[in-house]
């Protein structure tokens, strides 16, 4: 008889944040479905985690920029009753300004960072709702709050993940389905090399070890947090930002424009 606590499907699981999530969830007694493009790395990860933690780990090789690969993962989410968690982690970034970035590569980034998590959420959430429980973890970034920090398209994709999470949190309140959005700062992974800025070029005091990042994110999940920003020392700063947003919401749409735009004010 299985003693699994349910199955966690993790995208971008072959290295970095995704692989660390896989290790931590396996250590907690969860079976895993690990998804990434590199089948060799996935198979090695599955073998290692299965042997170390005594859980079932399945490697599911899929390129999420390819519709066939994305559809395969969607189908698994809609048909596998054992899946209790979805970790939308797959993604990549860039540091170059718009004029120095190739538009086709930016479009591929949108496919991985925006289209994939959106479609996978559409696949998983109805199943979770039907069961009355489930967990959706969306990996965003601090650039969702400060999109001007790095490449603007990357910032925009992570702002989408944060906005989608905001909406799903409200939509799913009271259903038993929990949404967590994680906003990492600079993390010690291969992300920076792929983005074109080697991590060794960053100030050491900015860069969090990937194990610390994931452990903090899971601590936030255990605390029932909606938004987890591991690097933010004063959570009151996030709460103040969110409170300011809530104050504006009732005033953002009106039949009349603001007085500052009247001719007497602009003269």
Alpha-carbon Rg for the chain, nearest whole angstrom, is 20
Cα–Cα distance between 225 and 179 in angstroms, integer? 9
Cα–Cα distance between 264 and 267 in angstroms, integer? 5
- In this predicted model, what pLDDT tens digit does every residue of 35-83 receive, in sequence order? 999 999 999 999 999 999 999 999 999 999 999 999 999 999 999 999 9
Q: Is 25 helix (H, G, I), strand (E, B) or coil?
A: helix
For residue 138, give the DSSP letter. Answer: E
Query: Residue 197 has what pLDDT?
Result: 64
Which of 76, 47, 55 is CA-nearest to residue 4?
55
Q: Is 33 helix (H, G, I), strand (E, B) or coil?
A: strand
Q: Active site includes 226?
A: no
Contact (Cβ atoms closer than 8 angstroms) between residue 14 and residue 38: yes
- In this predicted model, what pLDDT tens digit does every residue of 180-232 receive, in sequence order? 999 999 887 776 566 566 666 666 777 899 999 999 999 999 999 999 999 99
Cα–Cα distance between 243 and 254 in angstroms, integer? 21
- In this predicted model, what pLDDT tens digit does every residue of 4-45 receive, in sequence order? 799 999 999 999 999 999 999 999 999 999 999 999 999 999
Q: Is 28 helix (H, G, I), strand (E, B) or coil?
A: coil
Active-site residue, from 21, 154, 226, 261: 154
* Model confidence band, residue 2 (pLDDT cutoffs 50, 70, 90): low
Strands 83-88 and 7-11: parallel
- In this predicted model, what pLDDT tens digit does every residue of 81-108 receive, in sequence order? 999 999 999 998 888 888 899 999 999 9
Which of 145, 141, 143 is CA-nearest to residue 241?
145
Task: Give the rounded distance of the alpha carbon of 121 from its chain centre.
Answer: 11
Contact (Cβ atoms closer than 8 angstroms) between residue 21 and residue 47: no
Query: Residue 1 has what pLDDT?
Result: 45
Contact (Cβ atoms closer than 8 angstroms) between residue 30 and residue 56: no
Mean per-residue pLDDT, 124-129: 97
Query: Residue 193 has what pLDDT?
Result: 62
* Model confidence band, residue 122 (pLDDT cutoffs 50, 70, 90): very high
Q: What is the reported pTM?
A: 0.93
For 234: left if phi > 0, alpha if psi spans -120 to 50, otherwise beta; the answer is: beta
Structural tokens at position 147: 């999109």
Structural tokens at position 258: 């603001």
List Cβ neighbours of 221 (8 Å cut-off, separation of 6 or more): 135, 137, 178, 180, 228
Query: Residue 165 has what pLDDT?
Result: 98
Query: Residue 92 has what pLDDT?
Result: 87
- In this predicted model, what pLDDT tens digit does every residue of 106-118 receive, in sequence order? 999 999 999 999 9
């Amino acid at each position: 008889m299985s003693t699994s606590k349910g199955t966690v499907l993790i995208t971008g699981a072959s290295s970095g944040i995704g692989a660390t999530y896989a290790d931590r969830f396996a250590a907690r007694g969860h079976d895993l479905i690990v998804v990434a493009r590199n089948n060799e790395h996935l198979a090695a990860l599955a073998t290692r985690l299965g042997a170390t933690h005594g859980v079932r780990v399945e490697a599911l090789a899929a390129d999420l920029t390819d519709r066939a690969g994305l559809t395969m993962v969607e189908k698994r989410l809609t048909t596998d009753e054992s899946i209790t968690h979805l970790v939308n982690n797959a993604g990549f970034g860039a540091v170059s300004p718009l004029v120095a970035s190739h538009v086709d590569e930016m479009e591929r980034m949108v496919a991985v960072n925006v289209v994939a998590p959106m479609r996978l959420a559409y696949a998983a959430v109805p199943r979770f709702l039907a069961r009355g429980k489930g967990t959706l973890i969306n990996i965003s970034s601090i650039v969702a709050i400060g999109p001007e920090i790095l490449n603007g398209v990357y910032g925009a994709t992570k702002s989408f993940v944060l906005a989608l999470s905001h909406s799903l949190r409200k939509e799913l309140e009271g259903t038993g389905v929990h949404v967590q959005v994680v906003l990492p700062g600079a993390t010690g992974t291969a992300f920076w090399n792929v983005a074109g800025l080697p991590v060794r070029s960053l100030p050491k005091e900015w860069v969090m070890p990937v194990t610390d990042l994931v452990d903090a994110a899971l601590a936030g999940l255990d605390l029932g947090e909606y938004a987890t920003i591991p690097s933010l020392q004063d959570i009151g700063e996030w709460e103040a930002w969110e409170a300011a947003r809530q104050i504006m919401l009732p005033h953002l749409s009106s039949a009349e424009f603001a007085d500052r735009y009247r001719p007497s004010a602009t003269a």
